[in-house]
Structure 1
Amino acid sequence: MAQEARNRKSQTVKFRDHIVDIQTVIINDIECLRLKDVQRIFPAVQILSIDNVHQAFLHDKHGNDLEPLRIVARVDKVVEAVESMKHSSNDTDDKLDRMDVKLDHIVANTQEILRQIANVMREMYELNEFTTPRYFFILPAKHSDIKAIDFVQNWFQTHYKLYFLCECSHDPKEMHVAPHEGYSIKKGRDFVVKYAPYLRTTLQIVQVLLSAGGLVIPQLGSAAMAINNVVPAQFKNPKYYEDMKQQLQMVDDLLNKVDNQRDRAGASVISKQKSKGTPLKGAALREIQTYLELVDDKRSLGNLYRIVTDDGYVRWVCLQHYDEISFNNEMSKYINEFEAMGGKFDQKTKKAFINQVNITKENVEMMCKALGKGFNIVKLICRECSIDED
């Protein structure tokens, strides 16, 4: 049984730059310094050393350390408290890991700033270039008698109407005709000759729409149905499909006639190749309005609205898709802000992860605002994070 003396002394202990006096204990008539008393002040300490010699803990005749772990006190000396190399290495690794995380955050923030600058520059260019919807096609007007047009020379005398497409998708099968009954074209011959190469491209999109069952031409008073992708009953019958196919074929033949005229005029192969599939922009795109009758006073051609996507591109979309894209842009902004603070968000599972991040008041306010705006997070996982009380 351990016996303790009444008169106790203290042992001077040094750990790094700290020096303290720790009370010694008499056990079995031996004045001792217990390791646990040192660890109460310096938790990382595992070794006690005197004059650079690591002291062995008191042990029995079989070499087993006695409990509690202790060394013989040397009150005339200073005991050096030492942490193990393993613990020191782990501590260094932890510091390096924290530095890596901070560097990753700095890099992520820098990349986000550069991305935002690039988007702003692209947006400035696109807002200036694309002031008019760029996807449009033509069809013979409803009152034109297609069967009566048997001669090529009569094709340019046919009344054509122009329709815009909602740029709601990069997939032609998912696009739709803008909710507008179309615009009559003035100077039809000049218009077709000028825009024939581009009309060839948009005609292919419309043909894809027809084959996918999505080519609905809004009539006067039926624009709302086009917005909601509701196909009027008369468009579901086979006759509508055949009529539309015939009208598109007529436009295709008209464009072929323009190409043939260019061939006879001696246009070079290079110039013809350059004109095919060339996207319209700038002045050529804005000039379209001069060929249209009854252009909307509000300049919202085809009841389409200009919107900038989160990556800085301009698109012209209907009201329904305008609202959807605006919402998606807002959510993308919150995701970017969340990732800039060091988090990760899985858009498929809607799970958010934050690892080794010092969460600030601004971070919390941003997340609360995002959640209030509809940012859907199914599960939030925080690992080794701290919260800034300021």
Structure 2
Amino acid sequence: CEKHKQIDNFERNYSPENAIQWYTKESFFYKDLNKALRNKNYNEMLLFGPYIADIHLQLEKNRCKNTLKVYRGQIMSKFEISKLKRFCRQLISVNSFLSTSLDKAYAEIYKSDHLIDGQESVLFEIDANPQMAPTKPFAKISELSNFPNELEVLFTAGTIFRLEDMNNNNGLWNIKMTLYNEDDDERQKVFMYTKKRIDSEQRNHSTLGKLLLNMGECSAAKLCFIRFLNELAENDPQRLDLYQDLADLEHRESETKKALQWLEKREELQKQIVSTSIDPNKHVTTSIDTMEKSINQIKQSMIQMQQLNNFTTPRCFFILPAKDCSSELINNENNWLKIHYKLYFLCECSNEPNEMHIAPHHGYLIRKPIEFIGRYGSCLRITSRIVQLLLSFTVIGTEWSQNSLKFLSSLSSIKPNTPEYHQSIERQFELVNALIEKYHKPSIDQEESASISHINFSVLETYLDLVDNNCTLGNLYRKIIEKTNVCWQCEEHYDKIHFTNQLAEHVSNFIKIKGRFKTNNKEAYINGKKFNHQNVQTLCNALQGLNIIKLTFIDCSFIETDLETLLNTVLNHSTIRHLEMVSIRIIETRLEMVYLRIIEFLGSLIPIESNTCQTMIIESINQTLKVRFSGTFENENIPMIIRILSQNEIHKKLDISMYDFLGHGNELQECLKKHETMTNLIVTYCNSVDLLNPIFCLNITSLNQLKLTHLVISPSFSSHFCELLKKDRRFRDIDLMDTFGFQDENFICDLLDIFKDHWSIENVSLHLHDIQPDTKKETYLIKSLKDSNFISHLRISASIISHKLIETFIKAVEKHRLTHLEFYNSHLSDAEIMKPQWLQLQCLHDNGFLFKLVWSDKIYWHKMFDQKDEQQENGKTYFMISFIV
């Protein structure tokens, strides 16, 4: 074939002296070499290494001596142009060889009136003074080229420009750039030093590595240096330069110890041979200063974040697309908001940003990404810089924990720590940075520190979809640093950092009050203890230092005010997620406690009056406070829930069971009114009108989310529920993902009608049962999905899915409203005919438009029981069954 003929011709006729001639030919050589450089394919770059070095040395040999004005015409996507806008007055490095022309008219041939959607015509105008960049040669190559009439000027790979200005003139973008003045930078000595070492016409082993290092491709440069080092004899003088190169590279990556090891090898070799002595310390110092300057800037921002008065939510978080996105998808700005984004957290295990790591969690889907970025853009900027710094270390083989490696694998389908993987991650971060620049608009006169200080972290969880209340956000533990400062660490680092200093003291104090603490499962027990004020103070101090997940009290007694102090510590200042109290006596005053002890000492059988809480369980995770009693009403239930809510300072969501308040709905309503900061209410077993009224009559302006579970729908209940829902003007999100699903046709149709015309409700989650083709239920569901946007989560059980319904699902997903779709114990009306629609639905899921797609032959509530046996991943039980036709 033609390509084989070109390769044979290349092998016979190529020589270093005609490298540029071959580069300008229409052949595999030009295309494959540039593809390797643009895609940063390190393996291919190594294969092309000698030829890249040949072209570079030819440019050096024929380099221009005078200033030139050159032009380059190009077709670019709107996304690429938006990225360039962010770098105006900043530096841009070109990875490949850059071809330009002295003839402006020739460059303008790229101007076109027939561009496809998302493309723009661009004309680069470059002022190039060779004195500005002694290490980056460029040359007129007309005499060396196959196309002498093009007046071509070729710049070496890795050339750095300053983007001076860009504007749009009648559909043509004019972008003005100048060659980067290396003398203006504190790294002047580095450039001059590098120039001396590569200023040779001899093609040696390290030329390619130095070129890659100048391009910023540290991973490829390191591979290159190591490979060439292994080819040299132990006492070869060329090892001196390679050792120095590797030291410079490690310092650039902040690996000081490794850099010193390379310098020690260099000194040992230098003692054995005679060579030109070049002091490496100046370059080393400069490289360290450059890296430290960047890290210090991030550290200053981190200090400001740590000083925020925030006890509720980890504040080091960043976002990325939920699925790996192709360049074609990203380059079209119209697609940006059709992509789903996920939130991830960092473990704050160090004050050094380059020593932190990504929290062990699979991420959270973000609702309203534009609004989220507008609110939290300042934090996203800081944390994204930290993550990009961390990910840069993976290029050179820095060791990562298993959790971080698992996270890296989840970001892309490409194998981690490969060139293709890093290109994928870089592409995703470019998209996120563009989103932040576009949608986060702080005041012009507002500094970044001021912008951070006004962030309200307590509402962050309202932007996250389906937060799992069985684990903390990011699986991170809250650690109290000072009374007003906290940090958030993974379990491993909380143990390692916090326990080594104070564990013995806290465990000792805990044992003194009859406590038992199991470090293996982080559970603590106290049995039969009569607490006085001093005991409670000792206990509270220990709880703020121990990493306890579950704390149980059995047959204990407390003075009421001390019990409130204990609840305040557990809820707001500890890592306890599960508090269980069994047979707890509550004494109103300290005097009564003393009297009780005297009576017991004397052996009297005279009882003292006290309130007893038979069983109470509090689960405190993230923003949610889940409270359960014995399942029947007891006199102490209302006073205890009042104590809990009065001591709660940080939880905005309340989860209760109405079985614990049967017959006492009005008392519960009065109790809940005092919790004025509540935003979300989760209610289980609200199956009567008497229990329903207190929920909808709560006068709490901040309450905007309601979740009802385990509903039993009777005719009287359904009509009353619909009336209450129709009149309500507070709730924005309604979750009716009931375990069994709604089946009654009239109730479902009434609900959909109410949601369609509702004044405040924006997002609805529904579980519908028995949807059949051409029925009233199906008709109403299709109409709701077509004409409205309120259904975001839909679960369907025991149904037959028609062709019309599946088409409606596809359109609803494409509108970016329906994000979760689940099917249980259901069937397709005609599987063979509907196969293309199912494949289209799966494609939307694979591309990130539909976040969750589940198809299971099991009944949903059976599946819930089976989940207990499913694999645990990142602290959360989950399942995903792909539909196969």
TM-score, normalising length: structure 1: 0.44
Higher-RCO chain (CA-CA 8 Å, sequence separation at least 6) = 1
Higher-Rg structure is 1
When normalised by structure 2's length, the TM-score is 0.20
